[in-house]
Structure 1
Amino acid sequence: MTGLARKSFVLPGALALLALMHLPVAADISLPPESDAAARGLAIVEEMDRRDSGWGDAKADMRMILTNAAGDTSERELHLMMLEVTEANEGDWSLMTFDKPRDIQGTALLTHAHVGKPDDQWLYLPAVKRVKRISSSNKAGPFVGSEFAFEDLAAQEVGKYTYSWVKDEPCGALTCHVVERVPAYEGSGYTKQLVWIDTTDYLMRKTDYYDRKGALLKTLAFDGYAMYLGRIWRPGELEMVNHENGKKTRLVWKEYEFGTGLTENDFSTASLERAR
């Protein structure tokens, strides 16, 4: 496959400094007028996407903390591999694998995101030693008992939605653009999503998900952002709250590594069984 980013950012000493000196610097953004809500919303999201490009490949460890309506919790440990894909109409690839506890160890989700057609997703179930393809009709379902749906775990490529700017408003100590995005792909469990993107660094701060009846179903909050490679921001924690059943799922990131040498061979269906 062509168009896959293979650039490594792990460079020693002066070479690393030199590389960072040549990274693009964010400029002041001139957005379309508020009267053109569609163009303004698209421009905001495109700027967010532009600032999050050029990272190549990455690995991370994380904890998944499940909390039920009564407040009882359980934890899982997993690791994630990601590959940036720059080919037109394609999205980034990811492979998420559970390490603990034993009853879920080895379970893995492989995702190839697309634009203009349904994402490809495969789930490996070690208990039956079988790779299961996730159909478009099942992507709205919960991922291994969490409050994240399968579609939530795919790369949120710009072309997968239509957009409309709603307003600017305070979000904590910052100001955020509030943008409505409507899934343009088949099988979504959502009629729309509202996203809060800060006006300073163009980072996602919150997402509200509305179900097929148009009611608020879930809210995803992003927290603990840290900068890597001198310009790439990543959150330290994600929390998805389900307003319908009172449950929530937290993803707490332990460590990010970039430029690890991952290639498309690490994201094949054959790689699912050896992901452990």
Structure 2
Amino acid sequence: MLKSILICSLALVSLPSASQNEKGLQISIEQKARNSGWNSVYSKFKMILENPSGDKSVREMRLKTLEVDNDGDKSLIIFDRPNDVKGTVFLNHSHINDADEQWLYLPALKRTKAIASRNKSGPFVGSEFSFEDLSSFEVGKYQFTYLESDKIDGIEVFKVEQVPVDKFSGYQKRVAWIDASRYIPLKIEFYDRKGSPLKTLILSEYKLHLDKFWRAHTMQMNNHQTGKSTTLITENFEFNLDLSIQDFASRRLNKVR
């Protein structure tokens, strides 16, 4: 009897308090609020894939993103180089609460393929980023718990646990280190469905755009289970483009240039 009481007591101690959950939620709401109002963004970037032996391959891509009122962002990734992936287009419709919608246009087959929700944990065109990682950050997609204050390279950060609410998520949880002043992520750890460390994303080379929006120009995803890594290096960001929802229609992916 005494043993059972002790076990229950220890379990209660390990549970997050309501204040921890509330603080984690408020940090995440502020993070989202500070990165809202940019309307649309265009960028060019390189994707560098590296295997455990140090062999590298490079892809060049363009990204167009549209902010949508009362919903998640819509984004297009267009592959320009090398030739074996040139013309491939990835379309993502993020949603605040509902499952995201994703499509991949394959020029060799001249067809558009819908990515099923249960398959979004798979690798995005052979990289260490999954299809799930390419969705916009939405508060409604997670349950949050504030863990502790910490420092990264002398910068004060909030350490926040993010548990996906989607049953098809490839992750049991994520742990994010959020800059306590700018409310931008500096590091995110990903844990697989068994709770084992899977990947770590490091975001760096942040620059301020339009005197308001911080953007990481380098993002490196390291896979601890395979030894592989993928680095995204963004050359530039352009804001407030002439984009509309019609530019992000799945039926038009074969016409995207």
- Asked if TM exceeds 0.5, the reply is yes
RMSD: 1.0
Distance 1:35 1:158, change over 3 A: closer
* Counterpart position of 2:26: 43
CA contact (8 A) 2:164 2:172 kept: yes
* Counterpart position of 2:49: 66
TM-score (norm. length: structure 2): 0.92
Q: How far apart in 2 are the matches of 1:86 and 1:148?
A: 27
CA contact (8 A) 1:160 1:185 kept: yes
**Residue 127 of structure 2 is aligned with which of 132, 135, 146?**
146
Q: How far apart in 1 are the matches of 2:112 and 2:256?
A: 12
Q: How far apart in 1 are the matches of 2:24 and 2:244?
A: 33
Matched, 1:56 2:39: yes
* Structure 1 residue identity aligned to 2:33: R
Structure 1: state its 5+ residue gaps. Answer: 1-33
* Counterpart position of 1:182: 163
The sequence identity of aligned pairs, in percent, is: 44
* Counterpart position of 2:12: none
Q: How far apart in 1 are the matches of 2:133 and 2:253?
A: 20
Runs of 4+ residues over 6 Å off in structure 1: none
TM-score (norm. length: structure 1): 0.86
Q: How does 1:11-26 map to 2 (within 5 A)?
A: none
Q: How does 1:180-219 map to 2 (within 5 A)?
A: 180-219=161-200
Structure 2: state its 5+ residue gaps. Answer: 1-16
Residue 173 of structure 1, CA deviation: 2.0
Q: For 1:25-73, what per-residue CA distance to the aligned partner results, in whole angstroms no more than 9, with x for missing partners?
A: xxxxxxxxx8710000000011111111110001000000000010110
* Structure 1 residue identity aligned to 2:154: A
* Counterpart position of 1:166: 147
Q: How far apart in 1 are the matches of 2:137 and 2:163?
A: 12
* Counterpart position of 1:106: 87
Residue 186 of structure 1, CA deviation: 3.0
Aligned length: 241
CA contact (8 A) 2:32 2:137 kept: no
Q: How far apart in 1 are the matches of 2:130 and 2:245?
A: 24
* Structure 2 residue identity aligned to 1:267: F
SS in structure 2 opposite 1:69?
Answer: coil
CA contact (8 A) 1:136 1:186 kept: no
CA contact (8 A) 1:65 1:251 kept: yes
